[in-house]
Chain A
Amino acid sequence: MKEIVIISGKGGTGKTSITAAFSVLGGQDVVVADCDVDAADMHLLMQPDFDFSEDFYSGETAYIDQSNCIRCGKCAEVCRFGAIQDKNKLFIVDPLSCEGCGYCARICPTNTIVNKERLAGKWFISNIKTGSIMVHARLGIGADNSGKLVAKVKDEAKEIALEERKDFILVDGSPGVGCPVVSSLSGANFVVLVTEPSVSGLHDLKRVYELVKKFNIKAGCIINKADINPVKCAEIKLFLEEEDILHLTDLPYDENFTNAMTEGLTIVEFDHGLLKALLTDSWEKIKQVVSSKK
């Protein structure tokens, strides 16, 4: 079983559309994990049935029992996050600021503060239209710890893939270079970097690749909207060469990306011309690379 993660650093480069296309091409051999939990969109293209769902708890929030509180204010004094506000000697926890360190509860002289588990989101197992399974999630508004929810989604996908003897796990990775994307990358066999030839696209590609290098994972790259800026495109290709990143394909600027999405379809179901051919070719290349022994 091989794990393939698709990331982009910069948003809006077509990462999710491409992941969805690969999951259709991979069909029953692929378990899909949507780890872009903060703005999960892939379900819009995969017709998931939300067969199983479970609340996800992560971290804690302090809770003050007002009836027992002697209003000494020690909790507010030690809180480094400004999460305990003194409203006329009524001490109130702001759950959005509380990081759940538990310091206040430890020093409260009357043991009046307890830490309660925090509901961070929900995760799902769905049967999808490819005849396979997708694990996905939704992070609660303003929730922290999306890295842990990402890890949960990936672990569940891995377990299913092992049980069902699937060949591949396809992960729609998180944006950025922080905790969630670190979680997305850990344990991966291959990374697909989706970028676009713009100043921001190249800048973010370089930043996110620094992270990939730390994990020592083999990477390939798809340049989307490649014809929009030939100069930047050439710069990206130079970077790929320098870093020994496999150049998978160039995709043209094509509104069929959006048209397919509007119909609730993946590109390879909607477009039977060049885009489909290029994506099919990329998927075959990826399979070949991850299946070959080093």
Chain B
Amino acid sequence: MTNRKPLKIAIASGKGGTGKTTLSTNLAAFIADQEEVALVDLDVEEPNSGLFFNGELFHEEENLKMIPKWNESKCTLCGICQKVCNFHAVIQLGPSIIVFPELCHSCYACSELCPVDALPMVSKKIGVLRDFKLNKLHFVESRLDIGEEQAVSTISKTKKYAEKNYGNAHITLFDSPPGTSCPVMEATKDADFVMLVTEPTPFGLHDLSLAVETMRALKKPFGVVVNRDGIGNNAVVEYCEKENIHLMARIPNSRKIAELYSSGKLIYREIPAVKMALQGILDYCLETVEGERK
């Protein structure tokens, strides 16, 4: 590896359950056999990557969001706060102001436009960030509290934490949430390269095409990994050929892999073909990003 500039790779997929986390964890461990690497789990609603590592907890902090808190003694009940909140998170009910923290987007409008400072912003816990270490692997995850909705801001904060602490690692991997909506955009938007994981089925193809549209909208270099190759049909491979998308690897369907995964084991250590696939994927990512940077 000649290019030592830090490299961020996001692992994403339109459809859930295609092997995104399997690939992230195996790739991270594979790189960590040789050098420092950071794996950041940005699937904050259902973070799973940590289940595959028995790391040592290195740091833990609360994820916070800012919400207004009503100061009754200062309030004149003028009603401006309710009027300026586009999310109906601040409501005037009789002689009191009620704040709905889950609806609040932390825009500060009510707080700063209040003429008498009766709605100062305070922090509220919405989840926990944890940072683990296992030899050369740094693993960072954020876990949103159940029923909390601020996935995007949590993803953004988690990325900032990783950047600050592990920005010097040659490679950082982002395990992204599934889908194509806001959280995925946030998780992938500053990656140098995006790996889209899919499976060769009609559902896999349909969701892959949505993910490809998203990556093209973001103007991201990306490649595809077909997981569970051998099931379904050839339509995903044909789609990639037609769309001129590089197929980085095809990981065979095997009951053995499913069993290893189900027990939380890393696959590449047991199956040499997977190890080779990981090397191929990594080489392609490095080459592509190097090419882009020239």
Question: Which of chain B's residues has its CB closest to A204's CB?
Answer: B46
Contacts of B148 in A (CB 8 A): 178
Closest chain-A Cβ to B221's Cβ sits at a distance in Å of 18
A27 within 8 A of B: no
B122 within 8 A of A: no
Question: Which of chain B's residues has its CB closest to A255's CB?
Answer: B231
A258 within 8 A of B: yes
Q: What does the 1/0 interface line of B183-209 toward A look like (CB < 8 Å)?
A: 011000100000000010111001100
- Option from A13, A101, A178, A232 in Cβ contact (under 8 Å) with B107: A101
- The count of A-to-B residue pairs whose CB atoms sit within 8 angstroms is 168
Cβ-defined contact, B231 with A39, below 8 A: no
Contacts of A196 in B (CB 8 A): 262
Bound CA–CA A207/B144 (angstroms): 11
A78-B210 contact, Cβ under 8 Å, with A38-B179, A199-B51, A253-B255 = no
Cβ-defined contact, B180 with A141, below 8 A: yes
Cβ-defined contact, B206 with A229, below 8 A: no
Q: What does the 1/0 interface line of B144-170 toward A look like (CB < 8 Å)?
A: 101111011000000000000000000
Give the B interface residue count (CB, 8 A).
Answer: 57
Contacts of B146 in A (CB 8 A): 177, 207, 210-211, 214
Cβ-defined contact, B46 with A9, below 8 A: yes
Bound CA–CA A100/B217 (angstroms): 21
Q: What does the 1/0 interface line of B243-286 toward A look like (CB < 8 Å)?
A: 00000000000010011011110000000000000000000000
Cβ-defined contact, B109 with A103, below 8 A: yes
Contacts of B259 in A (CB 8 A): 228-229
B17 within 8 A of A: yes
Bound CA–CA A100/B105 (angstroms): 10
Closest chain-B Cβ to A110's Cβ sits at a distance in Å of 18
Q: What does the 1/0 interface line of A214-235 toward B look like (CB < 8 Å)?
A: 1000000000010011011000
- Option from B51, B108, B151, B255 in Cβ contact (under 8 Å) with A228: B255
Q: Nearest 8 CB-CB pairs, A to B?
A: A12-B17, A11-B16, A101-B107, A11-B17, A198-B262, A176-B45, A38-B179, A229-B262
B interface residue numbers (CB < 8 A to A) = 14-18, 21, 45-46, 48, 51-52, 84, 86-87, 105-109, 112-113, 144, 146-149, 151-152, 177-182, 184-185, 189, 199, 201-203, 206-207, 210, 213-214, 217, 231-233, 255, 258-259, 261-264
A interface residue numbers (CB < 8 A to B) = 9-13, 16, 38-39, 41, 44, 60, 78, 80-81, 96, 99-103, 106-107, 115, 139, 141-144, 146-147, 175-179, 182, 196-201, 203-204, 207, 210-211, 214, 225, 228-229, 231-232, 253, 255, 258, 261-262, 264
Apart from A100-B86, A175-B16, list 15 A-B contacts with CB within 8 A: A10-B46, A12-B16, A12-B17, A38-B180, A41-B207, A80-B106, A96-B185, A176-B177, A177-B144, A178-B148, A197-B262, A199-B262, A229-B259, A232-B262, A261-B203
